[in-house]
Structure formats: structure tokens, C-alpha cells
């Protein structure tokens, strides 16, 4: 492995070596970095730094761990015209992301009805592996959804118009083309819009345990003791199939034309080629699908809350929705010059500071909300983007706690039923998993310390804590 040294408290530099075209940088602590040495995470970061056309540096967030090609928690930028796109730098679950909406409820209101609320979520929202809605939408409707994103959901009354203003990209990536999405992907997606995925995908009812930044919390609508609802899921089978289709399309071309690839999982395509543009059009369609998926789940979750709590729950406004598996064209300064880059974020969240036009008007004076889920037994956080993120990380931050134990090892280490029982008895957290296996996979001990991850991004100055939220009710797919 190349040499790694700490160049700033919480920022480590992997010096360019061998095939690396740029240096690698890791945001973290010494203990988090030590954990990354135990698998392929740092080797994958060095491979990303070797890709043609990479600009300035390759980055890894403190929740980073081994992924497919790119490490999860990876950030890399390429020239938006002469660079490349790599499906591995976005991932199979395109636009896996997080949304958070607010309630007027207090934690004591929910504790009294935890089981009832969890049961209602399960009743209204299809959840788990292969979960589908009873009725599939038509192919023509799906084509419109893929290209229009949240605009489709507004028209179908799954979204309020004001919801759109609090979604990254306003819930619609321009340039999406349904024709770039295969019939197989569409077949997988027709019954999965409005469904919660498996594994670490969840609906979590939380309460705001602590406010760290009063001014920003007020702008976000957060108060101590307030109940909020977090949704974490992505583009389901449709997004997975888009990634699969284009990786299979890119690989024969890359092999035939002898593209430099330190790892075939990093297969890429130059942006000047038609195949790259087709992938981007399909990726954007999958991004739109995921925005609509989370929107429909939120509509169903709102209904569940109203059935249990009635009008006392309030208007249930959306705070924000962020993507953490995506590639986007953005303007960034590189060596003092503003350049248009295609920024790949895989398990990383955009964290733009106050003043950037991409931040919704409601939050532009404070910065972009950054939503960080922890594990089902610890804490989640709301952060806000900081100016230093533009200098350090192409305006990016972490996306969660990050796994420190494989799912297979977690299943053999923990008993799901016992975990759920202990969380209720000791923490008053009501967890309803689809299966006990899922509960074991998602054991809090299988994840890194989310508090340490947050301290790392704060220490480097790329984002700042606004609130810490504790779980009350967790529904796991």
C-alpha cells in the first residue's frame, strides 16, 4: 500500500505511487483508518486514484468500507466533457438516499403507541426482499415517471408541490431517458415503486435528543424532543438492473480496446462516447425513480401516522431528501479555476455550504441539510454543509455510520430476536424487522461508531452537527 500520513487533524493523505494519477485523501480518525486497513477499502481508493482523467484527488469518507470497485464512502471527480463515468463509482443501488420529515409529536406520544405504529407501517408499505405493490403501473406511466421524477408524483397527488422544493435536484434529474433503461429493468421496477428495500433500508421514527446549532435547527424546523421520521431506501431492482446492464455493456468494449483498469469492477467509459451518455441517461432515470419511491413511501408513512395520531401529528412537512449514490455535474474550483466536473459519490452525501444556488432557498442562508443515519440502536444526525467541504471534498460528507462487520459475520454473531428484545427493554426502541435474520445483519455492533464518524467530518470542517436523533420505532426490510 502507498504511504499514508496525517496532514491535518482528521485528514490523511495517501501519497501518489505506482499507477496512481492523484493522491488519495481519507477523512477519519486513526482508529477508523485502522479498520479500513483490514479489507480492500484502501486498495480500492488507490485504484480510483489511478483512473484516467481523475481531477485533483480521490477521497474516502470516515464511514468508508469495501465496496464494488469504488470503496463505499468514495468521492471522485472527472472533467465533465473529457473525463469518464464509472458505474462502480455510483453503485448498484442508484440514488440510494435518505429523507427526513417532521411531526408535531413528542417522543412520549410515540412510546405509548410504538407497536401500533410499526404494525401500521408494515400494513401500508410493502417491505423487504422482492417487496411489490399489489398493482403495477403501466409501462407508459413508468416511462413518464422515469423522466419526470417528482413532477409525476405531484401530478398523481403523492407529493405536495412544496415537497419538491426540499429534494436534491428538486426531485428530477434533467436528461433522464426512459429509452435508455432496459425492458428488464422496467419490469423489475413496475411493482416496486413505493416499496422499502431489504437490509439496511428502513423507516425510523426518531426524536431529537439534542440540538447543537440553534440557528440552523430553527431554519430546519427542529426542536428538542420533537419526533421526526427518516426513510432510507433507493431505486430497488430497477436501479440494480441499470447498473448491471451497463457494466455488462462496458466490459467487452473496455477489454477489446485495452482500457487501463486496475480492477475490472472499476470499468468505465469516456464521456465522449455514446455508451457513456446512454448510461448517464439511464442513471438519471433511476435517480428519478428513487426520488419517487421515497416520496411514495413518505405518502404512505404520513397516512400511517395520521391513522394512529390524527391531526395532532401536524402537517408532516419534508425537511430534506439527499442522494448518496449518484454522479452529478457540478462547478468546483480546481487550482483557482472554476471547472465543470462529473462528481461521483458512492456512499457519500453532498454537503454544500450556505450561498450555493443548489441549496433550496429555505436553507440557502445556513447551508444544505446532510442526513446521516446511524444504526437501529444508536443515533442518527442532521448535519449542515460547511464552506471547507468545497476545498477538501468537492462539497461532500459522510452518508452513515458505515459497516465494520460483514452481514454474514453479523448473522453468525448475533441473534435477531434477542437483539430486538434487548433494544426494547434497555433503550425503549421498538424494532420490527421483516425477519430475525435481517435484525441480526443490522445489529448496532455491526456498524462503526456513528459519533466518531460525525466528529471526524466536523473536525475536518466539511459539515457540522445540527441535531442528534435517537430511534423510537424501527421498521427494517
Q: Is 382:222 a contact under the CB 8 Å cutoff?
A: yes
Residues 6+ apart with CB under 8 A from 207: 106, 107, 110, 225, 226, 227, 228, 469, 470, 472
Distance CA 293, CA 142 (A): 12
Cell numbers that stand for 27 in this block: 477523512
- Give the chain's length: 477
Cell 445483519 belongs to 441
| Dihedral angle computed from the Cα positions of residues 11, 15, 20 and 21, in that order, rounded to the nearest 10 degrees | 80
Cell 427518516 belongs to 230
Q: What angle do CA 148, 183, 248 make, to 5 degrees?
A: 105
399 is catalytic: yes
Distance CA 209, CA 194 (A): 29
Q: What angle do CA 420, 447, 129 make, to 5 degrees?
A: 60
Q: What angle do CA 142, 162, 471 make, to 5 degrees?
A: 85
Q: Which of 166, 324, 399, 428 is catalytic?
A: 399
Kindly list the catalytic residues. Answer: 399
Amino acid at each position: 500500500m502507498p504511504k499514508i500520513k496525517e496532514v491535518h487533524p482528521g485528514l490523511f493523505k495517501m501519497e501518489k505511487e505506482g499507477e496512481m494519477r492523484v493522491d488519495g485523501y481519507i477523512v477519519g480518525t486513526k482508529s477508523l483508518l485502522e479498520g479500513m486497513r483490514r479489507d480492500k477499502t484502501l486498495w480500492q481508493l488507490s485504484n480510483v486514484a489511478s483512473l484516467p482523467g481523475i481531477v485533483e484527488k480521490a477521497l474516502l469518507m470516515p464511514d468508508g468500507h469495501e465496496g464494488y470497485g469504488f470503496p463505499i464512502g468514495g468521492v471522485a471527480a472527472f472533467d465533465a466533457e473529457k473525463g469518464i463515468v464509472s458505474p462502480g463509482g455510483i453503485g448498484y443501488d442508484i440514488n440510494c438516499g435518505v429523507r427526513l420529515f417532521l411531526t408535531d409529536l413528542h417522543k412520549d406520544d410515540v412510546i405509548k403507541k410504538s407497536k401500533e405504529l410499526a404494525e401500521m407501517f408494515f400494513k401500508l408499505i410493502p417491505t423487504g426482499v422482492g417487496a411489490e405493490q399489489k398493482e403495477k403501473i403501466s409501462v407508459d406511466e413508468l416511462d413518464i415517471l422515469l423522466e419526470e421524477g417528482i413532477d409525476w408524483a405531484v401530478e398523481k397527488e403523492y407529493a405536495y408541490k412544496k415537497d419538491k422544493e426540499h429534494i436534491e435536484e428538486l426531485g428530477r434529474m434533467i436528461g433522464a431517458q426512459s429509452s435508455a433503461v432496459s425492458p428488464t429493468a422496467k419490469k423489475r421496477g413496475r411493482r416496486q415503486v413505493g416499496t422499502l428495500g431489504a437490509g439496511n433500508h428502513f423507516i425510523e421514527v426518531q426524536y431529537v435528543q439534542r440540538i447543537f446549532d440553534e440557528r440552523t435547527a430553527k431554519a430546519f424546523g427542529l426542536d428538542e424532543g420533537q419526533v421526526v421520521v427518516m426513510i432510507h431506501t433507493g431505486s430497488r431492482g430497477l436501479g440494480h438492473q441499470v447498473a448491471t446492464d451497463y457494466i455488462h455493456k462496458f466490459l467487452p468494449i473496455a477489454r477489446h480496446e485495452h482500457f487501463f483498469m486496475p480492477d475490472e469492477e472499476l470499468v468505465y467509459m469516456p464521456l465522449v462516447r455514446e455508451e457513456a451518455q446512454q448510461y448517464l441517461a439511464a442513471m438519471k432515470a433511476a435517480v428519478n425513480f428513487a426520488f419517487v419511491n421515497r416520496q411514495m413511501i413518505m405518502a404512505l408513512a404520513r397516512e400511517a401516522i395520521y391513522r394512529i395520531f390524527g391531526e395532532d401529528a401536524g402537517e408532516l412537512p419534508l425537511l430534506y431528501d439527499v442522494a448518496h449514490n449518484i454522479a452529478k455535474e457540478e462547478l468546483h474550483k480546481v487550482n483557482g479555476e472554476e471547472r465543470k466536473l462529473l462528481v461521483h459519490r458512492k456512499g457519500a452525501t453532498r454537503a454544500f455550504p450556505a450561498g450555493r444556488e443548489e441549496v433550496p432557498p429555505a436553507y440557502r442562508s445556513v447551508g444544505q441539510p446532510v442526513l446521516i443515519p446511524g444504526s437501529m440502536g444508536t443515533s442518527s444526525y442532521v448535519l449542515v454543509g460547511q464552506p471547507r467541504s468545497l476545498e477538501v471534498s468537492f462539497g461532500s460528507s459522510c452518508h452513515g455510520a458505515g459497516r465494520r462487520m460483514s452481514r454474514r459475520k453479523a448473522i453468525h454473531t448475533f441473534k435477531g430476536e434477542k437483539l430486538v428484545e434487548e433494544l426494547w427493554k434497555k433503550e425503549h426502541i421498538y424494532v420490527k424487522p421483516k425477519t430475525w435474520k435481517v435484525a441480526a445483519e443490522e445489529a448496532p455492533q455491526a456498524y462503526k461508531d456513528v459519533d466518531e464518524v460525525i466528529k471526524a467530518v466536523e473536525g475536518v470542517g466539511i459539515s457540522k452537527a445540527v441535531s442528534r436523533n435517537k430511534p423510537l420505532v424501527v421498521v427494517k426490510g
